[in-house]
Amino acid sequence: MPTPIINGFTGYAGESMNPPEKNDSEQETAKPFSREEVDEIDERDRRWAWVEIDRGAIRSNVIEAKHHMRSGCRLLAVVKADGYGHGAVECARIALNAGASYLGVATVDEGIQLRKADITEPILILSQPPQTSIPLLLAYNIMPSVYTTEFALAYGEIADHHGMKAPFHLAVNTGMNRIGVRYDDVVEFERVIGFHRALEQKGMFTHFATADCPDNIDFTIAVNRFNKALEALHQANIDPGIVHAANSAALFRYPKVHYDMCRLGIAMYGIQPCKETRGIADLKPAMSVYARITQTNQVPMSDGVSYGLNWRSSGSTNVCTIPLGYADGLRRGLSGKTKFILDGQYCDQIGNICMDQTMFAVDMRTLGNKPKLEPHIGDKVTIIGRQGDAVLTATEQAYEADTIEHEITCGYAARLPRYYV
Ligand SMILES: *Cc1c(COP(=O)(O)O)cnc(C)c1O
């Protein structure tokens, strides 16, 4: 018997609300979903929140950096922390394509991820990993930064046992006091490890603590210390390999510290490293964050919103919910301090940001000549990015959350699906 269609619902249960008992032939009409079929449903159709990365912006930022460097100076693309939340493999490919020739990561596993994606260019870990990871470095051809003689000699020995070379970059501490051999101990360090036939120094670098601060004496002191170490090596007839020091801020501000290579991080993702580079570097932000409205509520006057009911309705607001929260990178500290964009207009985020959901207010009064907004379930909301003339940046979020943009963009990699456009 064909299924009767009652009230438009084939699943209508009838008066008794009990499903009719099925006989054997009816059982055969059951059509279970195949997992392959449902797995094809786009992530944006599973959850209305996502990140978009503009490939063209990353490409353009790499070209802009190269434009500020003399030809022949290499560019190392820093893709640590999943490319500051932009996707390490994709960003590495774009950067290499746009003129970078070296990659920088923070951990052994970040390097392995690039190798497994068939990336063959040199990869440098920007710190010294544990000695227990040495077989991985050799198997995946990933270079460590080196600054203890114990690590260097263990690395050389293990490589030698396998008939391999042990390439590395020497990290030099010029005042940041994070990692590296102290600038005035470099020659001594080289003498201790210099006998080992497998060790191959491919480069030497330092990292500046204050390249993104207003012009300062500490920066000059660090540069002088690095030059002093280079000079001492020269005197001792030791080849430092590729010499590098500049991060994004130093790349755009101080051409005299470009040496043989620059390390491009935050600026590659389109974010100004500091105020001072704003007039110098033409950068395009690559990351946008979007969501769709999952519910709209006319909240009566004096009713509150979200945990703690910290925000109270004036009676003329439509409260809209979007399905992303602090577990997705929207920092809870931004509660009540950030804005979103709906239909090209700014709307205030209201109430405490939750783990997975967040609310914002749409004013239902007509104010001046702004067209009245009519929010609907499914409408696209911009959390970071541009909609018409309205723009929201990671820089504003960083300022409001009392942090730096790096931490903001890294945060959005936690759970949101990422799309490249
Ligand atoms: C992260 C890092 C960089 C990149 O710095 P940005 O300011 O993001 O350009 C460069 N060098 C080292 C050693 C780093 O750890």
**Residues 390-400: what's their mean pLDDT?**
96
> 240 and 107, same structural domain?
yes
Catalytic residue among 256, 307, 370, 372: 307
Q: What is the mean pLDDT of the chain?
A: 94
pLDDT for residue 127: 98
- Work out which ligand 1 atom sits closest to the CA atom of 406: 8
> 178 and 100, same structural domain?
yes
Pocket test of ligand 1: the residue of 103, 123, 247, 272 to mutate, having most ligand atoms within 8 Å of its CB, is: 247
Residue 20 has pLDDT above 70, yes or no: no
CA 208 from centre of chain = 21
Helix axis angle for 108-116 and 88-97, nearest 10°, is: 70
Question: Active site includes 80?
Answer: yes
Dist CA 367 CA 219 (whole Å): 51
Q: Residue 155 belongs to a domain with what CATH number?
A: 3.20.20.10
Nearest 5 degrees, angle CA 238-CA 193-CA 247? 65
**Residue showing tokens 């935050």:** 266
Is position 3 within any domain? no
Q: Token digits for 44?
A: 């944006």
Is position 223 within any domain? yes
Strands 242-246 and 380-387, bridge-based pairing: unpaired
Is position 239 within any domain? yes
Dist CA 269 CA 22 (whole Å): 59
Q: Residue 342 belongs to a domain with what CATH number?
A: 2.40.37.10
Domain boundary among 242, 269, 296: 269
Is position 16 within any domain? no
Is position 2 within any domain? no
> 73 and 188, same structural domain?
yes
Q: Token digits for 149?
A: 């003689």
pLDDT interval class at 371 (50, 70, 90):
confident
> 345 and 389, same structural domain?
yes
Residue 298's domain spans which residues? 287-420
Per-residue model confidence as pLDDT tens digits over 310-348? 999 998 899 999 999 999 999 999 999 999 999 999 999
Is 407 in a helix, a strand, or coil?
A: helix
Is position 148 within any domain? yes
Dist CA 272 CA 248 (whole Å): 8
> 140 and 86, same structural domain?
yes
Measured CA to CA in angstroms, residue 386 lies from 85, 182, 354, 391, 394 at distances of 19, 46, 24, 4, 12
Question: Active site includes 412?
Answer: no
**Residue showing tokens 């009816």:** 26
346 neighbors 318 (Cβ within 8 angstroms): no
> 225 and 324, same structural domain?
no
- Work out which ligand 1 atom sits closest to the CA atom of 248: 9
Is position 144 within any domain? yes
For residue 344, report the distance from its CA to the centre of ligand 1, in Å.
Answer: 35
Q: How many domains are contained in the chain?
A: 2
> 179 and 107, same structural domain?
yes
Q: How many CB atoms lie within 10 A of CB 397?
A: 27
Dist CA 329 CA 404 (whole Å): 13
> 226 and 150, same structural domain?
yes
Dist CA 151 CA 142 (whole Å): 15
For residue 263, report the distance from its CA to the centre of ligand 1, in Å.
Answer: 6
Residue 124, classified by CB atoms within 10 Å of its CB into exposed (0-12), middle (13-18) or buried (19+), is buried
Is position 11 within any domain? no
**Residues 282-288: what's their mean pLDDT?**
98
